[in-house]
């Protein structure tokens, strides 16, 4: 089945009771049992809820996976995946990483004696050097946040497999429309569903998807034991958002291209980070593993300072200044003082994240309005 069709039909079915075509919001915490244990597969909504079940099946289908698990946030999904790792083991991750992920790894899991090594995974030599027999998990984001670097998923996952390490891809920036890491050898795919999948900036949610029965069983156990599950209303909103995922992503990518080319030709812009540009370090890998290049762009100005960056992001009218990404509306942000403020400055600079970097989440408005907005803001 093609992605556009899956987004509308896969994993969901009309309500058997009433024929309702849209999945009902089963706003219930518990379920009647005729005798102890005599029930219809649902006992308590932390464990299972019918609205969530359909969402989990839909998420699995979007990533060509066998099993989907939904969580109350992207961070809750990451927290659950990390529970596969035991004290004394080592995790290798990108150095250009979502700030909240870096915080969870270094402030929550490191004190449990889990070791983290942050490397430039867009560089194959670094990958070959640091992923070894002591690696228990490889955590990769691609495209990365906020430098939009590209990691060669097939290469890294095959190296992880060779050393017996679990490979996990945070696929939030690409969405399942642009790339499917399970097909490229990943063991587990993670999403901040909050972003492109839900797509309307009205839900916070996370997901893990896998083809492995063994991982599914462990992750399901942690999901139920720790209990960071989404409620039925949010599950419904996400199911609704998924229906338009394909058409939204098409437009995000079209608009992304327009904006990236505009910025690339602008005299005040020093560098544009967008994998569709041939000047991008790993353009050829992006072209190989992604269907299109998406709507996430970052750029730096010539001779720019923090204050100039702040001025531009306050001047935009359609690009709204806010954290987050992947919604229908265009957003602008300043990673160094917003999403990535929890990463120490010296770590940020080492990773190439300059204080003047501006990040755009290009929405699905008309491209001409987006370009004029940037024109008047940058000058």
Ligand X SMILES: *Cc1c(COP(=O)(O)O)cnc(C)c1O
Q: Does 196 bind ligand X (CB under 6 A)?
A: no
- From 54, 94, 172, 356, residue interacting with ligand X (rule: CB under 6 A): 172
Segment lying near ligand X (by CB under 6 A), choices 35-43, 167-175, 217-225, 305-313: 167-175
Is there a catalytic annotation at residue 129? no
Residue in 70, 69, 60, 73 with CA at minimum distance from that of residue 12: 60
Q: Binding to ligand X by residue 118, rule CB under 6 A?
A: no
Per CB under 6 A, 174 contacts ligand X: no
Nearest distance from C-beta of residue 100 to ligand X, angstroms: 5
Kindly state the number of chain residues that form the binding site for ligand X, as judged by CB under 6 A: 16
* 353 binds ligand X, rule: CB under 6 A: no
Of the candidates 308, 317, 309, which has an alpha carbon nearest to the alpha carbon of residue 335? 309
Q: Residue from 50, 206, 232, 327 that binds ligand X (CB under 6 A)?
A: 206
Give the active site residue among 26, 67, 98, 222. Answer: 98
Residues in the chain: 379
**Binds ligand X (CB under 6 A): choice among 58, 95, 180, 194:** 194
Residues 6+ apart with CB under 8 A from 365: 255, 318, 329, 330
Among 195, 248, 257, 348, the one annotated catalytic: 195
Site string for ligand X, 273-312 (x = CB under 6 A): ----------------------------------------
Nearer to ligand X, 192 or 211 (CB): 192
**Catalytic (active site) residue 195:** yes
**Which segment (67-75, 177-185, 233-241, 330-338) binds ligand X by CB under 6 A?**
67-75
Assess whether 251 carries a catalytic annotation: no
Contacting residue, 10, 24, 84, 100, with ligand X by CB under 6 A: 100
Helix (H) or strand (E) holding 18: none
> Rounded to 5 degrees, what are φ and ψ at 61?
-65, -40
Q: Binding of ligand X at residue 101 (CB under 6 A)?
A: yes
- CA–CA gap between residue 155 and residue 286 (Å, rounded): 13
* By CB under 6 A, residue 152 contacts ligand X: no
How far apart, in Å, do the first and last CA atoms of the chain sit?
Answer: 46
Convert 6-44 to b/e letters by CB count within 10 Å (16 or more is b). bbeebbbeeeeeeeeeebebbeeeebeeeeeeeeeebee
Closest to ligand X by CB, 192 vs 235, is 192
Binding part of the chain for ligand X, among 45-53, 71-79, 111-119, 158-166 by CB under 6 A, reads 71-79
Specify burial of residue 92 (Cβ count, 10 A radius: 0-12, 13-18, 19+): buried
Crossing angle of helices 367-378/245-264, nearest 10°?
40
The least distance separating ligand X from the CB of residue 107, rounded to whole angstroms, comes to 15
DSSP H or E run through 306: helix 306-315
What is the rounded distance in angstroms from the CA atom of residue 210 to the CA atom of residue 5? 21
Query: With respect to ligand X, which residue has the nearer C-beta, 203 or 377?
Result: 203
Name residue 188's beta-bridge partners. 168, 210
Q: 15, 42, 46, 261: which one is catalytic?
A: 46
Residue of 316, 3, 337, 361 whose CA lies nearest to 201: 361
Which residue, 71 or 299, is less far from ligand X as judged by CB?
71
361 touching ligand X, by CB under 6 A = no
Residues 201, 327: contact at Cβ < 8 Å? yes
* Residue of this chain nearest to ligand X (CB atom): 74
Rounded CA separation 110/118 (Å): 13
Tell me: does residue 238 bind ligand X (CB under 6 A): no
CA distances (Å), origin 80, targets 73, 86, 229: 11, 12, 11
If the CB atoms of residues 192 and 201 are measured against ligand X, the closer one turns out to be: 192
Kindly state the DSSP code that residue 30 receives in the 8-state scheme. Answer: B
**Catalytic residue numbers, as ranges:** 46, 98, 170, 195
Q: Which residues bind ligand X (CB under 6 A)?
A: 73-75, 98, 100-101, 141, 145, 170, 172-173, 192, 194-195, 204, 206
């Amino acid at each position: 089945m093609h992605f556009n069709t899956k987004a509308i039909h896969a994993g969901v079915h009309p309500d058997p009771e009433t024929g309702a075509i849209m999945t009902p919001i089963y706003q219930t915490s518990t379920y009647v049992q005729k005798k102890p244990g005599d029930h219809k597969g649902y006992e308590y909504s932390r464990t299972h809820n019918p609205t969530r079940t359909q969402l989990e099946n839909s998420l699995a289908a979007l990533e060509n996976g066998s099993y989907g698990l939904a969580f109350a946030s992207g961070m809750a999904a990451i927290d659950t995946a990390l529970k596969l790792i035991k004290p004394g083991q080592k995790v290798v991750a990108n150095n250009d990483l979502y700030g909240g992920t870096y915080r969870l790894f270094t402030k929550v899991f490191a004190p449990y004696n889990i070791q983290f090594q942050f490397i430039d995974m867009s560089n194959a030599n670094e990958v070959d050097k640091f992923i070894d027999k002591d690696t228990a998990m490889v955590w990769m984001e691609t495209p990365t946040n906020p430098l939009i670097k590209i990691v060669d998923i097939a290469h890294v996952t095959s190296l992880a497999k060779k050393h017996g390490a679990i490979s996990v891809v945070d696929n939030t920036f690409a969405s399942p429309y642009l790339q499917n890491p399970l097909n490229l050898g990943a063991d587990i795919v993670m999403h901040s569903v909050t972003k492109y999948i839900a797509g309307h900036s009205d839900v916070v949610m996370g997901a893990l998807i896998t083809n492995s029965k063994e991982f599914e069983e462990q992750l399901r156990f942690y999901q139920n034991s720790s209990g960071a599950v989404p409620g039925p209303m949010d599950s419904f909103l996400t199911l609704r958002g998924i229906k338009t995922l394909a058409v939204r992503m098409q437009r995000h990518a079209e608009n992304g291209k327009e904006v990236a080319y505009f910025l690339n030709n602008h005299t005040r812009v020093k560098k544009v980070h967008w994998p569709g540009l041939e000047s991008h370090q790993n353009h050829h890998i992006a072209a190989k593993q992604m269907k299109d290049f998406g709507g996430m762009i970052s750029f730096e100005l010539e001779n720019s300072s923090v204050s100039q960056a702040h001025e531009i992001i306050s001047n935009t009218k359609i690009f709204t200044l806010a954290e987050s990404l992947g919604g229908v509306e265009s957003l602008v942000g300043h990673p160094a003082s917003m999403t990535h403020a929890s990463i120490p400055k010296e770590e940020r600079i080492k990773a190439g994240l300059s204080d003047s970097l501006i990040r755009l989440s290009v929405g699905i408005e008309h491209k001409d309005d987006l370009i004029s907005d940037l024109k008047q803001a940058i000058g």
